[in-house]
Chain A
């Protein structure tokens, strides 16, 4: 079936374009360097850009979608109680030899054990090496995973402490990438275990040749890649901090794909005959959290609804996102399964806002409006968003003071409910609605340091999310999440603002480049048409 699909796909592609050609060097201009290439230790997107090229996960998302497909595991079984996941591993896959490690080791169950166990088993030789396992902690994996057991050379069983439906999606995340056990043990013997984070040996489509810090990474194609040899011969990730300079590089053709363009420069790039834009809705949401722990009037749902009516988000998105964002009405983005398009929408209505505020006994209201100091895809310019909101709110008798701090302080104070309201956002990790609704809105997440920035607690909402987490049937889960979004829209603990539209300007000669909803940049199916 899979083969048939691939053949059909290839046929269609051939009809649409000329046949893919091999060869060429692709330069990807990005805004910052990776911190390290060990995906279990890092949390920044720039590091994952690099690790994605080198490593694979057991299960993965189909290129450009949130649909799960086999990765290094060809198939998997889940026990009836949802507590045991058995993965059947792909045979005949080898870790690629590199300039710094010549051995060619076969991928087996031991590598899966190494990659997962080091993150939680305190007795594992790599548990204390390379700092903390940040994503493992962030995804609460300690509370989910009980053990990893080798059944035979090509079969691994992972047992869970509780039924947890999003677990499979977690295994497709970068932190669950599979590293070579033999390589790691060889490094340990030589006393060079620190090198694991800088000199990766993986099973992925590309092989790292050289990393010049803050400058570039050079990769060559993995000729024996299990999912087909990449079309391009070489891949270069080049750090170009300034976005105007990145745009200049793209115009002169010294880079082929450009990350994070300035919204103001998009039109100029689109007008260039050698450049085209690739667009996709981002797996993210930008919002204004109404902190009801610090600012008591937000405990009243009428006040929250009034704020929602008072803010003209359609106008804000149009003006500040420069058209590269869509107004958001629920906490999860439209690209995600279980998105509910029919929830209550608060269309701009200042009269209604005034009336609701009067009813609630707050005809005049004054609070701090916190604006993020950094740009994110879901919030390209928080300051401007805050200013627009300030103007809108003033029209209904609400005065606001715009406050900002450096990013670390901003996050820290927000986690401790030191703000009245704050602009923030979230980018999905694993393509699962639980990753938005549970992390950002349940009572559990309102414990300090809180990720539920509104401090909103709703038992009915909590119950739905908890139930969806332990149900493996995707249809049932979809129903529960749809209902949870209705409660959210009725209670509006936030003003949802926008889902970004990710725009990647690329040279016209670059074919088959797809944006990934998870924010990865994959190049193994990309080719040059010259």
Chain B
């Protein structure tokens, strides 16, 4: 087990190098001058040249790459060319918002997805099965931004139940402790703020969680159906286990293997979906920030944020692999 972990960790080094090289080349080889993009249409020759020099763009490419790697090794992720602030500090300002939204969306997706999947599998070919599988198909096919607008139209404009966009009403002012508003408001014992933050989370979490939920539901259903055909389920039934025991103890645990894999991979697509959801719901997270950086050709932000996201991915995949061993003791890592 220990040697496995060490091996996996060592493997991340070449992976991360690959990521830096790939992102660096992609960013630098696409046409367009970032200095000109940042300065906009009002720039003149001198100001463009000055900014290029300030961003180090006047040096040869390989030199720029080495400077970038050298700075990275010192933990220096660079400064945003646009705002002139440390990329890391700007990232820290926004990352909790994305994590909070993704976690709530994932929570929603996992519980509803697995629940619907189990019921569909157990009550196969029932109305519920057809209904939930149709819903899952619709969920996968819907563009996130469109679903977001529809949700806003019904629940905020027509019914007036939930806020339209944002993270927290302006009347609340909670201190930035963890950056997660749900936690920070509880720490401050400001329950009204907690309730408000929760209300702000509902629609974007549904919009973001719908696709993962649909996929998880379909995966759980098919996996459960497979498992329910196994001999050991028959054995369990024969020895007189209750229906509950058969489904939740004997079947579900075995059926969860592919579902966990999917959930792990889904965390990746959740970040991608977050970009669209954050834009629709004006959610102040890294998705929206990254999109702006790409528009502005803000090299340091694009490079470093992509790298940080890659690191997070690697960690998540690592945890998923460890989870396998926990769920299924038959798998011995090593």
Q: Which residues of A contact B (CB under 8 A)?
A: 25, 27, 32, 35-36, 41, 43-44, 130-132, 134-135, 137-138, 140, 142, 194, 197-198, 210, 212-216, 218, 236, 238-242, 244-245, 248-249, 251-252, 254, 405-409, 411-412, 415, 424, 426, 429, 447-449, 451
Which of A132, A198, A252, A449 is within 8 Å of B85, CB to CB?
A: A198
Which of A32, A198, A252, A424 is within 8 Å of B156, CB to CB?
A: A252
Shortest A151–chain B CB gap in Å is: 31
Residues of B near A238 (CB, < 8 A) are 166, 170, 282
Could you tell me if A245 and B284 are in contact, using CB atoms closer than 8 angstroms? no
Within 8 A of A (CB), among B70-99: 82-85, 90, 93-94
Shortest B108–chain A CB gap in Å is: 21
Query: Using an 8 Å CB-CB cutoff, how does the interface string of B141-179 with A read, 1 for contact, 0 for none?
Result: 000010001001100110010011111001101000000
Could you tell me if A213 and B44 are in contact, using CB atoms closer than 8 angstroms? no
Shortest B294–chain A CB gap in Å is: 9
- In the bound complex, CA of A212 to CA of B85 (Å): 14
Could you tell me if B48 and A249 are in contact, using CB atoms closer than 8 angstroms? no
Could you tell me if A137 and B170 are in contact, using CB atoms closer than 8 angstroms? no
Which of A35, A140, A194 is within 8 Å of B82, CB to CB?
A: A35
Could you tell me if A131 and B39 are in contact, using CB atoms closer than 8 angstroms? no
Could you tell me if A248 and B156 are in contact, using CB atoms closer than 8 angstroms? yes
- In the bound complex, CA of A135 to CA of B42 (Å): 8
In the complex, besides A137-B43, A407-B37, A408-B296, 19 extra interface pairs with C-beta distance below 8 angstroms are: A132-B47, A132-B50, A142-B46, A212-B284, A213-B90, A213-B93, A214-B285, A240-B166, A240-B282, A242-B280, A245-B164, A245-B282, A248-B165, A405-B32, A408-B32, A408-B34, A411-B37, A411-B40, A448-B45
Could you tell me if B165 and A249 are in contact, using CB atoms closer than 8 angstroms? yes
Which of B39, B149, B164 is within 8 Å of A138, CB to CB?
A: B39
Question: Binding site of B, secondary structure by majority: helix, strand, loop or mixed?
Answer: helix
Q: Which residues of B contact A (CB under 8 A)?
A: 31-34, 36-37, 39-48, 50-51, 54, 82-85, 90, 93-94, 145, 149, 152-153, 156-157, 160, 163-167, 170-171, 173, 279-282, 284-285, 288-289, 292, 295-297
Shortest B148–chain A CB gap in Å is: 8
Shortest Cβ distance from B173 into A: residue:
A210
Could you tell me if B36 and A412 are in contact, using CB atoms closer than 8 angstroms? yes
Shortest Cβ distance from B169 into A: residue:
A254
**Which of B36, B82, B149, B167 lies at the interface centre, i.e. has the most chain A CB atoms within 10 A of its CB?**
B36
Residues of B near A198 (CB, < 8 A) are 85
A-B contact list, 15 entries, CB within 8 Å: A35-B83, A130-B84, A131-B54, A134-B39, A137-B46, A137-B50, A194-B84, A212-B93, A213-B94, A214-B288, A218-B173, A238-B170, A240-B282, A245-B282, A451-B41
Could you tell me if B288 and A194 are in contact, using CB atoms closer than 8 angstroms? no
Could you tell me if B282 and A241 are in contact, using CB atoms closer than 8 angstroms? yes
Could you tell me if B164 and A254 are in contact, using CB atoms closer than 8 angstroms? yes
Which of A248, A252, A406, A449 is within 8 Å of B48, CB to CB?
A: A449
Number of A-B contacts (CB under 8 A): 145
Could you tell me if B42 and A245 are in contact, using CB atoms closer than 8 angstroms? no
Residues of B near A210 (CB, < 8 A) are 173
Given A216-B170, A239-B282, A245-B149, the answer on whether A137 and B44 have CB atoms closer than 8 Å is yes
Which of B54, B152, B165 is within 8 Å of A132, CB to CB?
A: B54
Residues of B near A236 (CB, < 8 A) are 170
- In the bound complex, CA of A142 to CA of B47 (Å): 11
**Which of B41, B43, B50, B279 lies at the interface centre, i.e. has the most chain A CB atoms within 10 A of its CB?**
B41
Given A244-B149, A412-B32, the answer on whether A194 and B85 have CB atoms closer than 8 Å is yes
Could you tell me if B284 and A239 are in contact, using CB atoms closer than 8 angstroms? yes
Residues of B near A240 (CB, < 8 A) are 165-166, 282
Residues of A near B44 (CB, < 8 A) are 137-138, 140, 449, 451
Residues of B near A142 (CB, < 8 A) are 46
Given A240-B165, A409-B31, the answer on whether A137 and B90 have CB atoms closer than 8 Å is no
Residues of A near B84 (CB, < 8 A) are 36, 41, 130-131, 194, 197
Residues of B near A131 (CB, < 8 A) are 51, 54, 84
Could you tell me if B40 and A43 are in contact, using CB atoms closer than 8 angstroms? yes
Residues of B near A138 (CB, < 8 A) are 39, 42-44, 47
Could you tell me if A215 and B167 are in contact, using CB atoms closer than 8 angstroms? yes
Residues of A near B173 (CB, < 8 A) are 210, 218
Which 5 residue pairs spanning A and B have beta carbons closest together?
A: A408-B37, A137-B47, A409-B32, A214-B284, A215-B284
Shortest Cβ distance from B48 into A: residue:
A449
Could you tell me if B153 and A248 are in contact, using CB atoms closer than 8 angstroms? yes
Could you tell me if B46 and A407 are in contact, using CB atoms closer than 8 angstroms? no
- In the bound complex, CA of A132 to CA of B48 (Å): 10
- In the bound complex, CA of A448 to CA of B93 (Å): 40
Residues of A near B50 (CB, < 8 A) are 132, 137
Which of B93, B149, B279 is within 8 Å of A241, CB to CB?
A: B279
Could you tell me if B170 and A245 are in contact, using CB atoms closer than 8 angstroms? no
- In the bound complex, CA of A25 to CA of B48 (Å): 41
**Which of B32, B84, B90, B297 lies at the interface centre, i.e. has the most chain A CB atoms within 10 A of its CB?**
B84
Could you tell me if B47 and A134 are in contact, using CB atoms closer than 8 angstroms? yes
Could you tell me if A411 and B41 are in contact, using CB atoms closer than 8 angstroms? yes
Shortest A340–chain B CB gap in Å is: 25
Could you tell me if B160 and A252 are in contact, using CB atoms closer than 8 angstroms? yes
- In the bound complex, CA of A215 to CA of B47 (Å): 30
- In the bound complex, CA of A245 to CA of B204 (Å): 13
Could you tell me if B90 and A248 are in contact, using CB atoms closer than 8 angstroms? no
Could you tell me if A245 and B152 are in contact, using CB atoms closer than 8 angstroms? yes
- In the bound complex, CA of A215 to CA of B172 (Å): 13
Residues of A near B167 (CB, < 8 A) are 215
Could you tell me if B152 and A248 are in contact, using CB atoms closer than 8 angstroms? yes
Shortest Cβ distance from B282 into A: residue:
A240
- In the bound complex, CA of A447 to CA of B45 (Å): 9
Given A132-B54, A214-B289, A218-B170, the answer on whether A252 and B36 have CB atoms closer than 8 Å is no
- In the bound complex, CA of A426 to CA of B93 (Å): 34
Shortest B126–chain A CB gap in Å is: 38
- In the bound complex, CA of A218 to CA of B85 (Å): 21
Shortest B182–chain A CB gap in Å is: 16
Shortest Cβ distance from A409 into B: residue:
B32
- In the bound complex, CA of A32 to CA of B42 (Å): 19
Shortest B13–chain A CB gap in Å is: 32
**Which of A137, A240, A252, A415 lies at the interface centre, i.e. has the most chain B CB atoms within 10 A of its CB?**
A137
